[in-house]
């Protein structure tokens, strides 16, 4: 029979290679195995992993282009500010690879609050399109915040966040929400991701739609949706709400701004800015707004941005999330501007191997150990 201490020493050898952050010892009475954590002594730099070079190198290219955009600015602070922001965004990418998928939990809480805010706003001010009490008039960014918050919640009950978010966006009056939910719906069909849960989401949405439009409130709220539909399918002869100029048209207005911006590209752009997003001046398309803000280096940065997003869509398990991001970037800029750090977080977490088992929303499948 082996002695007790021999068994303990054998256990130490077997576990040392796996539990590198712990040391197993025996107390003076030989009665307990003690685990002394040593993880606090490990510098955070040793835990950073650069990830796949196919996305890390393009991210560095984007950061360099952002840094160069500060050169034409006046004052040393304004010149170095874009470089500081670029380093901060790269840091977000690396840190998110350490923290993993739970970094998105606060976003899910915010998505619930935003969804309830949109619903409450429509009840309080019927017929007014809005992003709710949180985002107010910016219903497009509310669309991205709510949908991404639900899609990045990889826990039981995720479909309930999706159900709440779809209902809220149905009441927001956002044409972009209609487009994005339509794209995700096609992805659901393509992946055959359906169950009774999907039936509940669709059935409830139809019921809300009947009440919403039957009362006449929906026609007032979805004014921009109607305008967008008439631009896409003019032969339907839908009665169009009054519109004073081309900029008030969802698609034509965006094309006017794009044409103006792309015909006047500055060598180093108009400057990297996350908050100055005045309508009629900023391009509502992510690859093109990158060129607008960063100039000629922005062309390479825009291609790098597209490469990273498409690579993550194809190679990672975050299929719905990347389908959402790419669809949200067609008609708006907030993934590059107001929600810029979120994109870098999603790149970092989604590129971690086996960080989740599956991202299917409705179909039940066996989860892997990493989910």
Let me know whether 136 and 12 are in one domain: no
| Domain count for the chain | 2
- Looking at residue 121, its pLDDT comes to 94
Q: Mean per-residue pLDDT for 240-250? A: 63
Let me know whether 76 and 25 are in one domain: no
Exposure of 311 by Cβ count < 10 A (0-12 exposed, 13-18 middle, 19+ buried)? middle
- Looking at residue 368, its pLDDT comes to 45
- Looking at residue 279, its pLDDT comes to 67
Task: Give, as one character, the DSSP assignment of residue 31.
Answer: -
- Looking at residue 250, its pLDDT comes to 75
Exposure of 26 by Cβ count < 10 A (0-12 exposed, 13-18 middle, 19+ buried)? middle
Does residue 320 lie within any of the structural domains? Answer: yes
Q: Strand, coil or helix: what is 324?
A: helix
Does residue 217 lie within any of the structural domains? Answer: no
Q: Which residues of 51-60 are buried (b: 16+ CB within 10 A; e: fewer)?
A: beeebbebbb
For the ranges 17-21, 65-69, 133-137, 321-325, the lowest mean pLDDT is seen at 17-21
Task: Give, as one character, the DSSP assignment of residue 19.
Answer: -
49 phi-psi bin (left φ>0, alpha ψ -120 to 50, beta other):
beta
Let me know whether 56 and 146 are in one domain: yes
Let me know whether 38 and 64 are in one domain: no
More confident residue, 119 or 242: 119
Q: Provide the mean pLDDT of the chain.
A: 84
Let me know whether 136 and 37 are in one domain: no
Contact 311, 69 (CB under 8 A): no
Q: Mean per-residue pLDDT for 194-216? A: 92
Does residue 277 lie within any of the structural domains? Answer: yes
Say if residue 72's pLDDT is above 50.
yes
Let me know whether 167 and 312 are in one domain: yes
Residue in 127, 59, 143, 131 with CA at minimum distance from that of residue 93: 59
CA distances, 143 to each of 95, 148, 167 (Å): 26, 8, 11
Q: Strand, coil or helix: what is 37?
A: strand
DSSP sequence for 159-187: HHHHHHHHHHHHTTT-HHHHHHHHHHHHH
List pLDDT tens digits, range 74-114: 999 999 999 999 999 999 999 999 999 999 999 999 999 99
Paired with 26 in beta bridges are 33
Confidence of residue 371 (pLDDT cuts 50, 70, 90): very low
Paired with 25 in beta bridges are 34
- Looking at residue 5, its pLDDT comes to 63
Confidence of residue 232 (pLDDT cuts 50, 70, 90): confident
List pLDDT tens digits, range 255-309: 889 999 999 999 999 999 887 777 668 999 999 999 999 999 999 999 999 999 9
Let me know whether 56 and 174 are in one domain: yes
Residue in 146, 98, 93, 154 with CA at minimum distance from that of residue 305: 93
- Looking at residue 299, its pLDDT comes to 97
CA distances, 157 to each of 111, 133, 208, 277 (Å): 14, 25, 21, 35
| CA–centroid distance for 14 within its chain | 42
Does residue 357 lie within any of the structural domains? Answer: no
Task: Give, as one character, the DSSP assignment of residue 78.
Answer: H
Let me know whether 127 and 153 are in one domain: yes
108: containing domain? 52-195+257-350
Does residue 216 lie within any of the structural domains? Answer: no
Confidence of residue 216 (pLDDT cuts 50, 70, 90): confident
- Looking at residue 70, its pLDDT comes to 94
CA distances, 120 to each of 27, 117, 186, 322 (Å): 60, 5, 29, 29
Let me know whether 155 and 121 are in one domain: yes
Does residue 249 lie within any of the structural domains? Answer: no
Let me know whether 36 and 67 are in one domain: no
Let me know whether 38 and 62 are in one domain: no
To the question of pTM greater than 0.85 for the whole model, the response is: no
> Rounded to whole angstroms, how far apart are CA atoms 319 and 187?
9
Q: Strand, coil or helix: what is 23?
A: strand
Confidence of residue 9 (pLDDT cuts 50, 70, 90): low
Q: Mean per-residue pLDDT for 219-231? A: 79
Does residue 215 lie within any of the structural domains? Answer: no
List pLDDT tens digits, range 14-59: 554 444 443 333 333 333 333 444 444 555 555 667 788 999 999 9
- Looking at residue 24, its pLDDT comes to 34
Does residue 67 lie within any of the structural domains? Answer: yes
Let me know whether 125 and 29 are in one domain: no
- Looking at residue 219, its pLDDT comes to 78
């Amino acid at each position: 029979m082996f002695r007790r201490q021999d068994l303990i020493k054998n256990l130490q050898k077997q576990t040392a290679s796996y539990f590198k952050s712990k040391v197993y010892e025996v107390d003076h009475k030989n009665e307990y195995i003690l685990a002394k954590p040593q993880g606090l002594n490990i510098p955070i730099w040793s835990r950073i992993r650069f990830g796949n070079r196919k996305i890390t190198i393009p991210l560095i290219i984007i950061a360099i282009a952002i840094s160069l955009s500060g050169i034409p600015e006046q004052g040393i602070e304004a010149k170095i500010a874009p470089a500081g922001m670029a380093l901060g965004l790269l840091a977000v990418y690396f840190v998110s690879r350490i923290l993993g998928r739970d970094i998105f939990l606060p976003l899910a809480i915010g998505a619930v609050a935003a969804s309830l805010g949109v619903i409450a706003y429509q009840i309080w001010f019927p017929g007014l399109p809005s992003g709710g009490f949180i985002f107010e008039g910016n219903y497009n960014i509310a669309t991205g915040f709510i949908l991404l918050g639900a899609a990045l919640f990889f826990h039981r009950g995720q479909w309930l966040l999706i159900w709440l978010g779809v209902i809220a966006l149905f009441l927001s009056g956002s044409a972009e929400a209609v487009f994005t939910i339509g794209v995700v719906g096609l992805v659901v069909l393509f992946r055959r991701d359906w169950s009774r849960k999907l039936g509940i989401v669709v059935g409830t949405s139809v019921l809300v739609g009947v009440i919403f439009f039957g009362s006449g409130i929906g026609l007032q709220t979805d004014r921009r949706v109607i305008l967008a539909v008439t631009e896409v399918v003019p032969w339907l002869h839908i009665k169009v709400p009054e519109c004073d100029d081309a900029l008030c048209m969802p698609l034509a207005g965006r094309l006017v701004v794009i044409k103006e911006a792309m015909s006047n590209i500055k060598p180093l752009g108009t400057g990297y800015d996350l908050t100055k997003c005045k309508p009629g001046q900023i391009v509502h398309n992510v690859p093109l707004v990158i060129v607008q803000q960063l100039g000629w280096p922005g062309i390479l940065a825009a291609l790098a941005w597209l490469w990273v997003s498409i690579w993550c869509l194809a190679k990672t398990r975050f299929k719905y999330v990347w389908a959402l991001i790419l669809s949200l970037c067609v008609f708006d800029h907030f993934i590059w501007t107001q929600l810029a750090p979120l994109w870098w977080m999603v790149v970092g977490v989604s590129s971690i191997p086996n960080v989740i088992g599956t991202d299917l929303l409705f179909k039940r499948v066996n989860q892997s150990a990493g989910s």
